[in-house]
Chains A and B, each alone.
Chain A
């Protein structure tokens, strides 16, 4: 390659796929390039497991398919290497879910999302760090250490998909998978200045995702551009009725099909509750500027209201821990994962295993969850939360009567300093306020970079669409990225 062509790691997924198809570079060279970068940047803490042999074998297979002239949608991502959040189980890599409980755990099968991407030709570089069992907003709850934000290595990359966001931002991977339960794709994407989308609940199969909160968990791609997210999302999604009963019976879609459609006349709903007290001025300024940019592109801003936005915090922190407390019961030391070395009897084995295997935040949520489900409290907490959850979903449907998409901040602030929230889990919970409503409603939501705030830290804007409107969201995001260059900004040193 000549000097004026961009480095491999600066190419977007779309560009890289084209390079690979045109045989400008081989999949093996590409994989090796990224493996080298990953190893060189190990202190960032983004990766938990690599398996060079497997990665190169996949790359060689991709090269063979490319040589054989593979084409069409099945070859859209042929040879493109990505990383998987360590929540997705994989045959060829250790899966820990960021927990000591699953130290060294090897799944006998791949998650459906992993399989779907492999079928589209994607090469797996390895597994990405995350908060333990995806519980957290700063990636500080990983048993394998925190992840640094490439924009400022003293700050958090966000969470729980912090390893994915940091790796994409630092160009250690062209793209990564993430999972979003209450904002775990959107918030780290925002903190790291990248693009990420959480599709409608049920779009992507949950089979093979280590469960946190079953009614909320959803997989999605994290990349630098909306165009890349569209390519990856098209490959990830699809019905999986034989393995996941909550998977939607909607056909596979090409989410790239309407990327370039005009957004003239688009009605963008701006919820008053997303711009109130608590929103940092730097974030507000960047988001307002982005909304102005949308007006320039022909969109109309429509004031809307999502009156139960604040309630989404207590509702989420009842429902998600309730489901988690039950989902995590299988980690009992009997069948797989960590088991305490010394114990006197069965109950003692359970207690020690779980006390040693789970981190503080996971234990906290298990306790909250067990409490809200317990006899005498169930109606007051769990049932009540479910009722309000339905109302939150209804509020969105009211709003979508007058707008096509909803826009607002992803998080109230830019990324905070690692350890900045100290031992105050509530501070983390409160910072989820803007991402929780769409999660509770099961709506698709995404984050796109729209500027920089205090300390030159990226600011993300959230776009929320109605059910199954991912193509619309990606179109709206792509048009913005065609007109602006925030998404091309690169952290120094990478």
Chain B
């Protein structure tokens, strides 16, 4: 790969990098996203994870003499989708090259990849790190085939080769060295994961290796040129990703502080020890003898193809988030959180539209709904309280029938009852409110009596309030709510009190 030449990321202007022991951390990512095609990138063999070894490999995958690669258009289409999703340039003509090296699970003795001219060029990934909006620039994304697997266990001292994975289509997504902390790197990876799964080009399964991240990590004193990087591999969960980078950063800083220079190397993260260990150094780097694959003509993507893909593309998360801001008046942070997956976004939109209270819907989904989903480890698509029920519940808050707290009780009940007929939502919720006596006290005569009683019983608080202690009012409100058994409308209580106390 090309040496990193530092160019400033305009999206980061004015952002201060967090320092670790006085060092700035510089991270770039290479992600291999397995594309969700039915068959392999250059053959017609099927792709299924977990199949018996060597049952998903045809003569082309085995590199039998006389076999030739034929491009799977579905893989190209997914690359185009990705390019459009991240605002990149989709190259009208890109080139497949051979990366030559010997390894038992690489049947042809070369990997077909893209080298000088990749299919997707540029683009950026924007995301929030806390409340801070960040952006990471992509250098490229290119199509390539996966290798098979060497199985070192269960072969009595020998190595088995499983070529089921050989020829699986990958999109390798390469960033610029734009990230400055492990937290930012993880936020980037999560956002990338969200995009590829959102547009459906990758199933995102990190355990099965469908989404594999390698991090290029280096450290430097602020203002210094880039330090020597080490490539950290085997980051197959977001948690490991952060651990591995943090470990690697500390290790590099210690080396430098001890007066050792960092050697360019590829290192493997071991989740059991939480450490990284060098696999190979630059000295072992192979000469891959890249050259254009004479078996494959240049990949030509006509503008009409790009336009068709564009017209068929689903609304992208950042576009949808922007719409939530303008259409529903949400904050950018909330809108981004609600578009973390298509399922959440769909749930939110249905709820917001159903109750006409987008902010309440947003609060509920990011609050009570998420809390319960996380606690019960349920995906939002399987949420026992459907969007129609949540919308009906919220409408009962907004029309003053029940308080927010009472609504939580109703929600709990709906949750334990599980999915039910959407048509019955409102009547069922009203039944619960009725049966559990959760209705707010909207009769002002009854409430007024309670207020008067409380005022009479708490002369001290009244005096303090009148003397200018605002907090005394809270105590009175509390007493009144207690007296109404929680059914009083807090707003009404406030109004009445201010009226009576002048």
The chain A residues found within 8 Å of chain B, CB to CB, are: 88-89, 95, 97, 102, 105, 107-109, 111, 206-211, 213-215, 241-246, 322-323, 325-326, 328-330, 332, 334-336, 346, 350, 370, 373-375, 378, 382
The stretch of B30-38, B103-111, B384-392 that contacts the partner chain: B103-111
B74-118 vs A, Cβ < 8 Å mask (1 yes, 0 no): 000000000000000000000000101010100111100000000
Q: Does B291 contact A (CB under 8 A)?
A: yes
The CA-CA distance from A350 to B108 in the complex, in Å, is 14
Q: Is the CB of B66 within 8 A of A374?
A: no
Shortest beta-carbon distance from A211 to chain B in Å? 7
The CA-CA distance from A243 to B44 in the complex, in Å, is 10
Q: In the complex, what residues of B have CB within 8 A of residue A329's CB?
A: 100, 102, 108-110
Q: Is the CB of A214 within 8 A of B63?
A: no
Q: Does B70 contact A (CB under 8 A)?
A: yes
The CA-CA distance from A105 to B62 in the complex, in Å, is 14
Among the interface residues A245, A325, A382, which one has the most CB atoms of the partner chain B within 10 A?
A245
The CA-CA distance from A107 to B66 in the complex, in Å, is 9
The CA-CA distance from A88 to B104 in the complex, in Å, is 25
* CB within 8 Å of A: which B120-148 residues: none
Q: Is the CB of B66 within 8 A of A245?
A: no
Q: Does B296 contact A (CB under 8 A)?
A: yes
Q: Does B449 contact A (CB under 8 A)?
A: no
Q: In the complex, what residues of B have CB within 8 A of residue A208's CB?
A: 66
The CA-CA distance from A245 to B361 in the complex, in Å, is 54
Q: Is the CB of B70 within 8 A of A336?
A: no
Q: Is the CB of B62 within 8 A of A335?
A: yes
The chain B residues found within 8 Å of chain A, CB to CB, are: 59, 62-71, 98, 100, 102, 104, 107-110, 161, 287, 289-291, 293-297
Given contacts A105-B65, A207-B66, A210-B65, contact A373 B291 (CB under 8 A): yes
Q: Is the CB of A244 within 8 A of B66?
A: no
Q: Is the CB of A373 within 8 A of B289?
A: yes
Q: Is the CB of A326 within 8 A of B104?
A: no
- 22 interchain pairs, CB-CB under 8 A: A88-B66, A89-B64, A102-B65, A109-B64, A207-B67, A207-B68, A208-B66, A211-B68, A244-B70, A245-B70, A246-B294, A325-B289, A326-B109, A328-B109, A329-B108, A330-B107, A332-B102, A334-B107, A335-B63, A335-B107, A370-B289, A378-B290
Shortest beta-carbon distance from B282 to chain A in Å? 13
Residue of A whose beta carbon sits closest to that of B163: A335
Q: Is the CB of A243 within 8 A of B109?
A: no
Given contacts A335-B62, A373-B289, contact A241 B70 (CB under 8 A): yes
Given contacts A109-B59, A329-B109, A346-B104, contact A243 B291 (CB under 8 A): no
Shortest beta-carbon distance from B301 to chain A in Å? 15
Residue of A whose beta carbon sits closest to that of B101: A329
The CA-CA distance from A226 to B220 in the complex, in Å, is 73
Q: Is the CB of B291 within 8 A of A382?
A: yes
What 8 additional pairs, Cβ within 8 angstroms, besides A107-B65, A108-B59, A350-B102? A95-B65, A107-B64, A109-B59, A213-B294, A214-B295, A329-B100, A332-B109, A375-B287
Shortest beta-carbon distance from B110 to chain A in Å? 5
Q: Is the CB of B66 within 8 A of A336?
A: no
Q: Is the CB of B291 within 8 A of A378?
A: yes
Residue of A whose beta carbon sits closest to that of B62: A335
Q: Is the CB of B289 within 8 A of A245?
A: no
Chain A to chain B: the 3 pairs with minimum beta-carbon distance, closest first: A329-B109, A214-B294, A373-B289
Q: In the complex, what residues of A have CB within 8 A of residue B66's CB?
A: 88-89, 107, 109, 111, 207-211
Q: In the complex, what residues of B have CB within 8 A of residue A210's CB?
A: 65-66
Q: In the complex, what residues of B have CB within 8 A of residue A335's CB?
A: 62-63, 107, 161
Q: Is the CB of B64 within 8 A of A245?
A: no
Given contacts A109-B59, A330-B63, contact A243 B68 (CB under 8 A): yes
Q: In the complex, what residues of B have CB within 8 A of residue A373's CB?
A: 100, 289-291
The CA-CA distance from A331 to B68 in the complex, in Å, is 15
Q: Is the CB of A245 within 8 A of B65?
A: no
Q: Is the CB of B64 within 8 A of A336?
A: yes
The CA-CA distance from A330 to B63 in the complex, in Å, is 7
Q: Is the CB of B294 within 8 A of A215?
A: yes
Q: In the complex, what residues of B have CB within 8 A of residue A88's CB?
A: 66
Q: In the complex, what residues of B have CB within 8 A of residue A378's CB?
A: 289-291
Name A323's contact: one of B64, B69, B294 (CB within 8 Å): B294
Given contacts A108-B64, A382-B291, contact A243 B70 (CB under 8 A): yes
The CA-CA distance from A208 to B295 in the complex, in Å, is 13
Residue of B whose beta carbon sits closest to that of A244: B68
Q: In the complex, what residues of B have CB within 8 A of residue A213's CB?
A: 294
Shortest beta-carbon distance from A429 to chain B in Å? 21
Q: Is the CB of B65 within 8 A of A326?
A: no
Among the interface residues B98, B100, B109, which one has the most CB atoms of the partner chain A within 10 A?
B109
The CA-CA distance from A330 to B109 in the complex, in Å, is 5
Q: Is the CB of A89 within 8 A of B102?
A: no
Shortest beta-carbon distance from B450 to chain A in Å? 82
Q: Is the CB of A246 within 8 A of B65?
A: no
The CA-CA distance from A374 to B296 in the complex, in Å, is 21
Q: In the complex, what residues of B have CB within 8 A of residue A207's CB?
A: 66-68
Name A326's contact: one of B62, B98, B287, B297 (CB within 8 Å): B98
Q: Is the CB of A374 within 8 A of B69?
A: no
Q: In the complex, what residues of A have CB within 8 A of residue B109's CB?
A: 326, 328-330, 332
Q: In the complex, what residues of A have CB within 8 A of residue B104's CB?
A: 332, 334, 346
The CA-CA distance from A373 to B11 in the complex, in Å, is 40
Q: In the complex, what residues of B have CB within 8 A of residue A375's CB?
A: 287, 289
Residue of B whose beta carbon sits closest to that of A110: B66
The CA-CA distance from A90 to B112 in the complex, in Å, is 26
The CA-CA distance from A159 to B297 in the complex, in Å, is 29
Q: In the complex, what residues of B have CB within 8 A of residue A326's CB?
A: 98, 100, 109-110, 289, 291
Residue of A whose beta carbon sits closest to that of B109: A329
The CA-CA distance from A88 to B66 in the complex, in Å, is 8
The CA-CA distance from A73 to B424 in the complex, in Å, is 72
Q: In the complex, what residues of B have CB within 8 A of residue A111's CB?
A: 66
Q: Is the CB of B108 within 8 A of A245?
A: no
Residue of A whose beta carbon sits closest to that of B295: A214
Among the interface residues A329, A336, A375, which one has the most CB atoms of the partner chain B within 10 A?
A329
Q: In the complex, what residues of A have CB within 8 A of residue B295's CB?
A: 211, 214, 245-246
Name B69's contact: one of A89, A245, A330, A382 (CB within 8 Å): A245
Shortest beta-carbon distance from A63 to chain B in Å? 30
Shortest beta-carbon distance from A345 to chain B in Å? 11
Q: In the complex, what residues of B have CB within 8 A of residue A108's CB?
A: 59, 64
Given contacts A326-B109, A332-B109, A378-B291, contact A245 B63 (CB under 8 A): no
Q: In the complex, what residues of B have CB within 8 A of residue A245's CB?
A: 68-71, 295-297
Residue of A whose beta carbon sits closest to that of B43: A243
The CA-CA distance from A334 to B69 in the complex, in Å, is 20
The CA-CA distance from A346 to B287 in the complex, in Å, is 19
Q: In the complex, what residues of B have CB within 8 A of residue A346's CB?
A: 104
The CA-CA distance from A89 to B290 in the complex, in Å, is 28
Q: In the complex, what residues of B have CB within 8 A of residue A374's CB?
A: 287, 289
Q: In the complex, what residues of A have CB within 8 A of residue B68's CB?
A: 206-207, 211, 243-246
Shortest beta-carbon distance from B261 to chain A in Å? 24
Q: In the complex, what residues of B have CB within 8 A of residue A95's CB?
A: 65
Residue of A whose beta carbon sits closest to that of B293: A214
The CA-CA distance from A167 to B101 in the complex, in Å, is 39
Q: In the complex, what residues of B have CB within 8 A of residue A97's CB?
A: 65
Shortest beta-carbon distance from A182 to chain B in Å? 14
The CA-CA distance from A244 to B62 in the complex, in Å, is 16
Q: In the complex, what residues of A have CB within 8 A of residue B294's CB?
A: 213-215, 246, 323
Shortest beta-carbon distance from A47 to chain B in Å? 20
Q: Is the CB of B161 within 8 A of A330?
A: no
